[in-house]
Amino acid sequence: MITKQKGTYDIYGEEAKKRLYVNDIIKGICEKYNYTYIETPVFEATELFHRGVGETSDVVKKETYDFVDRGERSITLRPEGTAGVVRWFIENKLYGNMTEPVKVYYNEKMYRYERPQSGRNREFTQFGVELIGSDDVMADVDVISLAYQTYTLLGLDTKIKINTLGDNESRLKYKDALIKYLEPHMDELCEDCKERISKNPLRVLDCKIDGEKDIIKGAPITLDYLNEDSLNRYNKLKDYLDLLEIPYEEDPRLVRGLDYYNHTVFEIYTDIEGVNFALGGGGRYNGLIKELDGPEMPAVGFAMGYDRTMIAIDAAGVNIPYKKDIDVYVMYVSDSEKETASYIVQNLRLNGFTTETDYLNKGLKGEFKSADRFNAKFLIILNDKDLESNEVNVKDNVTKEEEKVNINDLIDYLDMHD
């Protein structure tokens, strides 16, 4: 038997209905914040992600699905959405005569070769937004607000951890200080971190092995190395968040796992028991567009993991309102009844009723059972004799009341009794 691949899953039944509900919330909120929908390809040139996400990030070093295609091209399945959006932005020269920032959202499958566990899969879905073309703190706040409100609308209490990495100057100063601090502790670090110290020491701070060690907890923090501009910017961000009453916690050790960030970084957590991972995260990435051969262009964004959000929704006992029942089940026996049934089913569906019928010629007994399984509110029972006078039997499956109704009056009748 062929089974699904490790770290992948099928989404069906109730889980699928819940996800469609989450999609609706996302679509609604993105409309309000005026982000437009975008889809980018599942696979791109390997170079895009390796340069974009960063050669020293865990994602690129250990987790990308890279392969050579039949045309000898080096291809990578997208591990995240930001690099693809930036490639689209540059390729279409959208920076040409920008009158407004570009604001897009995506809702797509991503691929990372990780060790599968709760909330961590190899194929997973991310909802994300990118705002390209504004360096204003208000843009950072727009993105954080959208993220926060999405979780709130989904019925989740979240807290946002924020930090700043500062601008390039501040980051370099911090990097030097961190290297000076870490070098004497080299022996206490894992093999990967030993390498990270020279290449990208910030990565040591969120190492899955060393991250919880006391040496890391005692490491210098970015806040102490910010220049005046970067500090002002961070303070302004907090002022805005206060003004908009978005609750946040400062986490001076938050650096994020991808290399492209500067200034604002944030992650979203919840206190729900058993949900001890970030539900989403993002930040500002002013250097990425230049890094990918575009112009100097500021940008900020965020992405939410669906899998983790669904786990949180279930753990918090959030009741997601999705339609469990159908409105009408149409029943028939003979071939002539079946033809009329087919016409009635279509007519009801076109008039907004969730309608089901029998595709297996089960006969009345089987059809009654199916109607109960679907929890149908109304049963429409056809028989040739009633059809001679263009009538059908309508039964309210809750009150059990039955009435003969002319086929032409069915919609009005059901509307009145619904």
Kindly tell me which residue out of 61, 114, 316, 326 binds ligand HAM, with binding defined by CB under 6 A.
114
* Shortest Å distance, C-beta 241 to ligand HAM: 18
Kindly tell me which residue out of 161, 308, 377, 395 binds ligand HAM, with binding defined by CB under 6 A.
308
* Shortest Å distance, C-beta 334 to ligand HAM: 53
How is residue 60 annotated by DSSP? I
Residue 17 binds ligand HAM (CB under 6 A): no
* Shortest Å distance, C-beta 87 to ligand HAM: 13
165 phi and psi angles, rounded to 5 deg: -100, -10
For the chain, the straight-line distance linking the first and the last C-alpha, in angstroms and rounded, comes to: 47
- The mark string for 220-239 relative to ligand HAM (x by CB under 6 A, - otherwise) is --------------------
> Tokens 């060393």 identify what position?
210
* Helix 335-350 vs helix 410-417: crossing angle, to nearest 10: 60
Kindly tell me which residue out of 202, 207, 279, 313 binds ligand HAM, with binding defined by CB under 6 A.
279
Helices (H) and strands (E) in the chain, counts: 16, 16
Residue nearest to ligand HAM (CB): 305
Q: Which C-beta is closer to ligand HAM: that of 168 or that of 390?
A: 168
Residue 259 binds ligand HAM (CB under 6 A): no
Task: Give the three-class secondary structure for 174.
Answer: helix
Contact 104, 85 (CB under 8 A): yes
Q: Which residues pair with 304 in a beta bridge?
A: 127, 280
* Helix 228-243 vs helix 137-153: crossing angle, to nearest 10: 40
Please choose, from the candidates 64, 41, 36, the residue with its C-alpha nearest in 3D space to the C-alpha of residue 52: 64
* Shortest Å distance, C-beta 221 to ligand HAM: 20
Q: Which residues pair with 301 in a beta bridge?
A: 130, 283
Cα 315 from Cα 312, distance rounded (Å):
5
Residue 298 binds ligand HAM (CB under 6 A): no
Kindly tell me which residue out of 54, 84, 298, 305 binds ligand HAM, with binding defined by CB under 6 A.
305
Q: Which C-beta is closer to ligand HAM: that of 6 or that of 180?
A: 6
Kindly tell me which residue out of 64, 107, 121, 370 binds ligand HAM, with binding defined by CB under 6 A.
121
Q: Which C-beta is closer to ligand HAM: that of 53 or that of 221?
A: 53
* Shortest Å distance, C-beta 102 to ligand HAM: 13
Q: Which C-beta is closer to ligand HAM: that of 115 or that of 323?
A: 115
Please choose, from the candidates 125, 163, 153, the residue with its C-alpha nearest in 3D space to the C-alpha of residue 33: 153
What sign has the CA pseudo-torsion 39, 41, 45, 50?
Answer: positive
Q: Which C-beta is closer to ligand HAM: that of 262 or that of 340?
A: 262
Kindly tell me which residue out of 54, 84, 201, 257 binds ligand HAM, with binding defined by CB under 6 A.
257
Q: Which of residues 41-100 bind ligand HAM (CB under 6 A)?
A: 80-82
403: enclosing H helix or E strand: strand 402-406
* Helix 306-315 vs helix 13-32: crossing angle, to nearest 10: 110
* Helix 137-153 vs helix 13-32: crossing angle, to nearest 10: 150
Residue 112 binds ligand HAM (CB under 6 A): yes
* Shortest Å distance, C-beta 146 to ligand HAM: 12
Contact 208, 61 (CB under 8 A): no
Kindly tell me which residue out of 52, 84, 101, 282 binds ligand HAM, with binding defined by CB under 6 A.
282
Kindly tell me which residue out of 280, 287, 294, 298 binds ligand HAM, with binding defined by CB under 6 A.
280
Cα 231 from Cα 223, distance rounded (Å):
8
Residues of this chain that interact with ligand HAM (CB under 6 A) are 80-82, 112, 114, 119-121, 124, 126, 128, 130, 257-258, 278-283, 285, 301-303, 305, 307-308
